Structure 1
Amino acid sequence: MLTDPAYAEAIERSLELAGERAGDLTPIVYARLFARQPPMQALFWRDKDDSIKGEMLMRAFEAILDFIRARQFADHMIQTEVVTHAGYDVPPDVFATFFGIIAEVVEEVCGSGWSPLMAQAWRITLAELDCYVAHPERITA
């Protein structure tokens, strides 16, 4: 199911606004992730300059943007990454935590620019993303 165009536009606008207001969200997103999922911080022991974290966040943004529009790759990518990351001892619920944290940080950074439509669009998208995270064995065609 493709996202309602108004929801897709609301999410896109929230990401643009967050970028305009805060620039690189990597430090904020990962600080919050590590606060909620402390064991995950140890997995980034090689990432001294945050480049790995930055790339992973960029890929998450790309996946979200594809997921709310054409879904050319995002649904399969998310399901595949859940399985792949299990090999790194990353439990599937961390993915749900990660997407939720992205939404929280975007909302926080948008401040007064955050709208009820953005909130609703993110809530619906996160719920749908969670289905792909929770059931990576159901790769759809």
Structure 2
Amino acid sequence: MSTSSDPIERSFEIAASRCADLTPLVYQRLFEQHPETRTMFRAQGRALVMESMLALTIAFFTIIRDTLRGLLGDEWSADMAQAWDRLLPDIDTFATAPA
């Protein structure tokens, strides 16, 4: 495993060494925190899915960060936390900017 100097990449690298697939953990946390989203993933193409996807995606990055932090435990570093803290507002700014 190559070690990245980017804290977010490093958090994913460490997570990959601990579990083969992050997806079930992310969706578990998503459905725990937002149970209403469970039905959104069963019916593709519905208007609700299309209208809600951006807002959900922005929340989803927070879910991913929290899942990584939980999985990494003591290896979750201050620089990883700071990088995610910088990234999340950037995503929100980009997503809400006029086209």
TM more than 0.5: yes
Q: Which amino acid aligns with 1:92?
A: L
Verify the 8 A CA contact 1:37 1:94 in the aligned structure 2: no
User: Structure 1 92/107 Cα, relative in aligned 2: closer, same or farther at 3 Å?
Assistant: same
Q: How much is the aligned-residue C-alpha RMSD, in angstroms?
A: 2.3
Verify the 8 A CA contact 1:40 1:90 in the aligned structure 2: no
Verify the 8 A CA contact 1:11 1:122 in the aligned structure 2: yes
What is the TM-score when the length of structure 1 is the normalising length? 0.57
Partner SS, residue 99 of structure 1: helix
**Aligned pair 1:92/2:54, yes or no?**
yes
Q: Which amino acid aligns with 1:28?
A: L
Aligned length: 93
User: 1:125 aligns to what?
Assistant: 87
User: 2:9 aligns to what?
Assistant: 12
User: 2:70 aligns to what?
Assistant: 108
Verify the 8 A CA contact 2:40 2:48 in the aligned structure 1: no
**Offset at residue 37 of structure 1 (A):** 2.1
**Offset at residue 11 of structure 1 (A):** 0.9
Identity of aligned residues (%): 34
Unaligned runs of 5+ in 2: none
Unaligned runs of 5+ in 1: 1-7, 48-84
CA distance in 1, matches of 2:49, 2:71: 33
Partner SS, residue 90 of structure 1: helix
**Aligned pair 1:43/2:52, yes or no?**
no
Runs of 4+ in structure 1 over 6 Å off: none
User: 1:26 aligns to what?
Assistant: 23
Q: Which amino acid aligns with 1:116?
A: A
Q: Which amino acid aligns with 2:91?
A: L
User: Structure 1 109/87 Cα, relative in aligned 2: closer, same or farther at 3 Å?
Assistant: closer
